[in-house]
Chain A
């Protein structure tokens, strides 16, 4: 007999027969994917994907590969955290990639050194004003300001003019990219201060990504803000009738998404030691894909940051796996597309299955 637990009002239920959290399926997919690359590698290349095969290195795993897997998705991952809470609350954000571009340009121009090898910095934007060698907090605050502003515009448009999020953020996507190009008339902005360059050095992007992921997972699970994200994404009318200030909440959601995109811009430009107008192109779609692969429902109300982080890792494994198998980068894009569609189809199936069981 199944072990039952007593519920309210004399009814009982089988506590063991709880539905798996959606994240578990995503994690399983990650393991299967890693296993598949490992198997293909062993069979066709005689090399291991996951484990160390070099005699002169004393580790079990191929640590360099593990680092690359997570490092290459960390920056987009930071954006994906913001995008996740946008999608959970029933919206979508197409502007994050362009916000990265614009913010990187503007922030970097406040992070430049005055002299390079004894000569005046040829790329300095504000050399004449003397705004060079500023403390690192200045470009970071400028970046956060840019992200905040972009998010405020996005959120206000969506909350007050009732433009669908898709259109509002599409407009921001084009506008912010324009700003990125206009800022330095298309010129790259380079030669940051040492302290600014330290932000994206080595494994710093990973540390920043994971810290932000933990922070936002806690916020979504344990705070009123998180609860309202799920409520609004689940049933906006119900949320409004329950007294939630849906407009203000939406603005806050997009402001946070904007700030996270701008933090990604700081890390990215710091890591690359330069800012270019084309930075972050297609990042918005990669971020959305990470969330969707991680089980965040595009219809809102369901998903988690943990899911998105696993989704990001799946992304990283695919890119590294293709490199490992010495396949062309072109295939990566095609496969990415297929996986995104697959994830959405799976989500639909899961919903239908659940509806049938209920």
Chain B
């Protein structure tokens, strides 16, 4: 039990009458990379939003890092060590790279409440270190995010999760809008995270990417988990049949 980083039990979310997520039971072990797949509206993002407490779940339980948790909001989840790279890139376009990396948790020199003086030197240094650690290439840190390519933006978003000692990283379609080379860059970052033993949940539609990167694949369909398979026990066709509903029923891991 102690090597389980994240566990959900009967996690359920209703939006009014819409059952977006029903009784999701999920586990993630230390150092494990898991992919979540499924069609649009299958409940993947909803599932992530419950874990990260962007929304409050209707019912169910969540354990994280050995404790049952009830995060009040995304800040609490993040402080506990869950870092998320959101689908719509939670970056401020008009700020530079260090400001974005430290957004919402700026390092300050003097604490004067909201008017605390920022420690810009420290944040710049830490940003450089984080970018080096994740092998992200950014020409000029002082440029605003607006001036950067989609790949660079995504890399900044991912580097942000790696800047802070996180216990779980969640990526919601990190390469959906990227070109071939940019996708490779992001995938390399994910491999670096795997080598560092950092657990990851990857939401992706890209079958090749999923089979390249993760250990285990969980398929969502109509708000339910319909498959939970080790990579070596399945193949692309198998996963597609679960996604489309050609195969049904919860496929459990063999023992």
Stretch from B110-118, B209-217, B245-253 that touches the partner: B110-118
The verdict on A8 contacting B138 (CB below 8 Å), with A224-B116, A252-B114 known, is yes
Q: Which of A7-26 contact B (CB under 8 A)?
A: 7-13, 15
Closest to A10 in B: B137
Stretch from B4-12, B82-90, B198-206, B229-237 that touches the partner: B82-90
Please indicate the chain A residues that have their CB under 8 angstroms from the CB of B92 in the complex.
230-231, 234-235, 238-239, 301
- Whether B88 lies near A237 (C-beta < 8 A) is yes
- B contacts with A, residue count (CB < 8 A): 42
The contact of B137 among A11, A219, A252, by CB within 8 Å, is A11
Stretch from B13-21, B34-42, B140-148 that touches the partner: B140-148
The contact of B95 among A219, A227, A240, A243, by CB within 8 Å, is A227
- Whether B94 lies near A302 (C-beta < 8 A) is yes
- Whether B112 lies near A223 (C-beta < 8 A) is yes
Separation of A103 and B92 alpha carbons in the complex (Å): 36
A129 proximal to B (CB < 8 A): no
A182 proximal to B (CB < 8 A): no
A330 proximal to B (CB < 8 A): no
Q: Which of B127-154 contact A (CB under 8 A)?
A: 128, 131-132, 135-141, 146-149
- Whether B94 lies near A230 (C-beta < 8 A) is yes
The verdict on A234 contacting B94 (CB below 8 Å), with A224-B114, A227-B99, A241-B86 known, is yes
- Whether B106 lies near A13 (C-beta < 8 A) is no
B78 proximal to A (CB < 8 A): yes
Interface centre among B95, B104, B138 (most CB of A within 10 A): B104
A48 → chain B closest CB, angstroms: 41
The contact of A243 among B78, B88, B128, B135, by CB within 8 Å, is B78
Separation of A242 and B149 alpha carbons in the complex (Å): 21
A154 → chain B closest CB, angstroms: 18
Q: Which of A85-138 contact B (CB under 8 A)?
A: none
- Whether B137 lies near A243 (C-beta < 8 A) is no
Q: Which of A198-245 contact B (CB under 8 A)?
A: 219, 222-225, 227-228, 230-231, 233-235, 237-244
A354 proximal to B (CB < 8 A): yes
The verdict on A7 contacting B139 (CB below 8 Å), with A222-B118, A223-B116, A252-B114 known, is yes
Separation of A15 and B108 alpha carbons in the complex (Å): 28
Separation of A249 and B89 alpha carbons in the complex (Å): 22
- Whether B93 lies near A11 (C-beta < 8 A) is no
Separation of A238 and B89 alpha carbons in the complex (Å): 7
The contact of A225 among B94, B114, B131, B148, by CB within 8 Å, is B114
B79 → chain A closest CB, angstroms: 8
A358 proximal to B (CB < 8 A): yes
Mask for B95-108, Cβ within 8 A of A = 1, else 0? 10001000111101
Please indicate the chain B residues that have their CB under 8 angstroms from the CB of A224 in the complex.
106, 108, 114-116, 118
Separation of A8 and B159 alpha carbons in the complex (Å): 12
Please indicate the chain B residues that have their CB under 8 angstroms from the CB of A15 in the complex.
140
Please indicate the chain A residues that have their CB under 8 angstroms from the CB of B115 in the complex.
219, 223-225
Closest to A236 in B: B92
Separation of A66 and B182 alpha carbons in the complex (Å): 55
Known: A223-B116, A235-B92, A235-B93. 9 other contacts (CB 8 A): A222-B117, A223-B114, A223-B115, A223-B118, A227-B95, A235-B91, A243-B75, A244-B103, A354-B146
Chain A residues within 8 Å of B, Cβ to Cβ: 5, 7-13, 15, 219, 222-225, 227-228, 230-231, 233-235, 237-244, 249, 252, 301-302, 354, 358
A-B contact pairs, 19 of them (CB 8 A): A8-B137, A8-B138, A8-B139, A10-B137, A219-B115, A222-B118, A222-B120, A224-B106, A230-B95, A231-B92, A234-B95, A235-B91, A241-B84, A241-B86, A242-B90, A242-B104, A301-B92, A358-B148, A358-B149
